Amino acid sequence: MSTSPFEELRADDKGTGGIPVEPHEVLGVAQPIMRRQAEEREQALGGVLRERNHLAAWLAALHPSVLSAAPDIGDGWYRLFLRAGGWQFTWSIRPPDLSLFDHVRRVPAGDARARFDGHTIDQKYLRIRSHTAVLCLSDDAAI
């Protein structure tokens, strides 16, 4: 059974007659592990965002939408502004996913269609649930 790098350091410590492990030795082992874990989490998050952005791109094809550069989020990031059910919805779009939105018009930050109405994330989700409920009601009436 393999041991972790920390267990190896402890084992080395025991074999050296009680010489303590130095902090820089622990950091030397911990930093690559933490870097790898951060990269794995970043990659997983990227996959989740890509899936979400596929759905946002689909919604943008169905509703009036524009994209505007969002340097406040990060270099190369955009913000999607979508209108549905009389409400505004926004999503941040990372650079690798921008090609999913080739069908959406790009507008300058000052464009009226790209003016943020101040909704919170909770309000956005409430708007989504409310609009979904309205759409479901209209389906029930057709049956």
The pTM of the full predicted model, rounded to 2 decimals, is 0.70
CA distance 34 to 75: 25
- What is the pLDDT confidence band of residue 53, given thresholds at 50, 70 and 90? very high
Model confidence at 17, pLDDT cuts 50, 70, 90, reads low
Q: What is the pLDDT of residues 62-109, one digit of tens each?
A: 999 999 999 999 999 999 999 999 999 999 999 999 999 999 999 998
Q: What is the mean pLDDT of the chain?
A: 86
Is a pLDDT exceeding 60 seen at residue 13? no
Q: What is the pLDDT of residue 83?
A: 96
pLDDT in tens, 23-41: 777 777 788 888 888 888 8
- In 3D, which of 61, 82, 63, 85 has the Cα closest to residue 136? 85
What is the phi/psi pair of residue 68, to 5°? Answer: -140, 140
C-alpha span between 49 and 51 (Å, rounded): 5
**Contacts of residue 113, Cβ cutoff 8 Å, sequence gap at least 6:** 64, 66, 81, 107
Q: What are the residues facing 68 on neighbouring strands?
A: 79
pLDDT of 21 reads 66
DSSP state of 35: H
pLDDT interval class at 15 (50, 70, 90):
low
